[in-house]
Amino acid sequence: MIIEFLGGANEIGREAFLVESQNTTILLEYGVKLHPELEIPLLPAKKLDAVFVSHAHLDHAGMVPLIYKTQSPKLYATQLTLELMNLLLEDYIKVAKLTRGFSEYNSYDIAKMNKHFRACTYNKKFRIKDFEAELFDAFHIPGSASIYLANSRRILYTGDICMHASNLLKYRQIKYPKIDCLIIESTYSEREHPDREEEERKFVEKVREYSDGIVLIPTFAVGRAQEVLLILNKYGITKNVYLDGIAQRASNIILYHKRYIRDYKALKNILMKVKFVKTRKQRDKILKSRGVVVTTSGMLNGGPVVYYLKKIRNRKDSCLLFTGFQVEGTPGEKLLKTKIFESEDEKFKVSIEIKKFDFSAHAGRSELFNLVEKIKPEKVICVHGDHTRKFAREIEEKFGIEAIAPKINDRVEV
């Protein structure tokens, strides 16, 4: 069995891994890297029998429709992942046309992709020619999965994986089959996450400190926006809370698939109390009063958040609270370092207080090591990280297991 790395090696973004047996070719993920410059994975050189997507985020799924311009493989994911993918892919087309004048694919390609979709449920085996396949809950966002493929050898690809509970998702120990090769995400291989409850308390204290002004909270539309709303709900902050951007539609999709989330009633409760923002007139009205604005995009690379930020940048009664990782080169990362917002279209200084909180839905350093120790594979392949080579060396030293950090275009025999 051969694994070819078309993307996602020694980088975060554009995940794409080709798994080949003598008779079958399967693509795991086909994402896009948006920052600092747009990059797509290498194109598969072979006819595909199947495409698997672990979850809906664009770095894992953002280029899947491109495959369907020339091929027609079956697409495997959870039903919720497909619906969230459709939301984010249509938004990608819209943003690409606005910013670049074109998109790599269109709505027809998405429709063709949907036609070849096969819904998967967790812990249920199925076959794709000479492969046995199974999805396991990855606890990263609703509907996310780790992917198991078995032929002559047995592979587990973690996808983005979380190993602790959140307000949005439960966590439980997964009993995996025997694994020969573990392909592991390495996003937080360099550091641990802070204590979650303490981080929530600090976050809520800061929200309350600016209760007389505007608390601007940039979030990722899928997963993080709902987690932030649940934190606010848990601490009784439900008055003058606003939700803006495509997080509105994402929240409704997630709420509909209630079996994937931890507390359906709590999410429904806060969504009934939150005010959905649709127009600039509504935004201007909010800015003249006070409130907590949860809005896309999480790294300030477009979306309604930029409009709010420009309006409140010099207000002493307002603050900006990041709740997610800021990729190097994004407007959010630059703002944290310099207090200057800069995009392709505009640049301005920001004088309000800016804080970053860690509500990550990825496993931390020790959790990643614990996963390797639990699975005890013969080989570990480190992907989706900025320090994969170092992480691979540490795995070898700690466990005596062969561990590698491949490069783009590498072919690894399992």
Query: What sign for the dihedral angle of Cα 124, 125, 127, 133?
Result: positive
Nearest CA to 326 out of 288, 349, 360, 295 is that of 360
Burial class (CB in 10 A: 0-12, 13-18, 19+), 113: buried
Omega before 54 within 30 of 0, i.e. cis: no
Nearest CA to 153 out of 14, 3, 287 is that of 3
Q: Which two tokens stand for residue 279?
A: 């127009």
Nearest CA to 92 out of 77, 107, 70, 71 is that of 107
Count the Cβ atoms, other than its own, within 10 Å of residue 234: 14
Question: pTM for this structure?
Answer: 0.96
Q: Which two tokens stand for residue 64?
A: 């899947």
Strand partners, 20: 2, 25
User: What is the rounded CA–CA span in Å between residue 264 and residue 86?
Assistant: 22
> Would you state the pLDDT for residue 37?
87
| Strands (DSSP E) found in 138-206 | 145-150, 154-157, 181-185
Domain 196-356 is found in CATH 3.40.50.10890 = yes
Residue 296 CA to its chain's centroid (Å): 14
Strand partners, 275: 242
111 sits in which H/E element: helix 107-115
- For residue 358, give Cα distances in angstroms to 59, 131, 147: 20, 39, 27
User: Would you list the DSSP string of 356-368?
Assistant: E-----S--HHHH
Q: Which two tokens stand for residue 117?
A: 């979709």
C-alpha Rg value of the chain to the nearest Å: 21
Nearest CA to 182 out of 210, 200, 161 is that of 161
Please give the CATH architecture assigned to the domain spanning 2-191+361-413.
Answer: 4-Layer Sandwich (3.60)
Question: Going by C-beta distance under 8 Å and a sequence separation of 6 or more, which residues neighbour residue 52?
Answer: 26, 27, 28, 29, 75, 76, 77, 133, 147
Note the pLDDT tens digit of each residue in 281-291: 999 999 999 99
217 sits in which H/E element: strand 214-218
Domain limits, the chain: 2-191+361-413, 196-356
Q: Render each residue's pLDDT in the chain as its tens digit; 414 residues.
A: 999 999 999 999 999 999 999 999 999 999 999 988 899 999 999 999 999 999 999 999 999 999 999 999 999 999 999 999 999 999 999 999 998 999 999 999 999 999 999 999 999 999 999 999 999 999 999 999 999 999 999 999 999 999 999 999 999 999 999 999 999 999 999 999 999 999 999 999 999 999 999 999 999 999 999 999 999 999 999 999 999 999 999 999 999 999 999 999 999 999 999 999 999 999 999 999 999 999 999 999 888 999 999 999 999 999 999 998 888 889 999 999 999 999 888 999 999 999 999 999 999 999 999 999 999 999 999 999 999 999 999 999 999 999 999 999 999 999
Note the pLDDT tens digit of each residue in 251-291: 999 999 999 999 999 999 999 999 999 999 999 999 999 99
Residue entry with tokens 């007139």:
281
Burial class (CB in 10 A: 0-12, 13-18, 19+), 23: exposed
> Would you state the pLDDT for residue 344?
82
Contact indicator for 355, 319 with CB cutoff of 8 Å: yes
Q: Which two tokens stand for residue 227?
A: 């987690």
Query: What sign for the dihedral angle of Cα 310, 315, 321, 322?
Result: positive
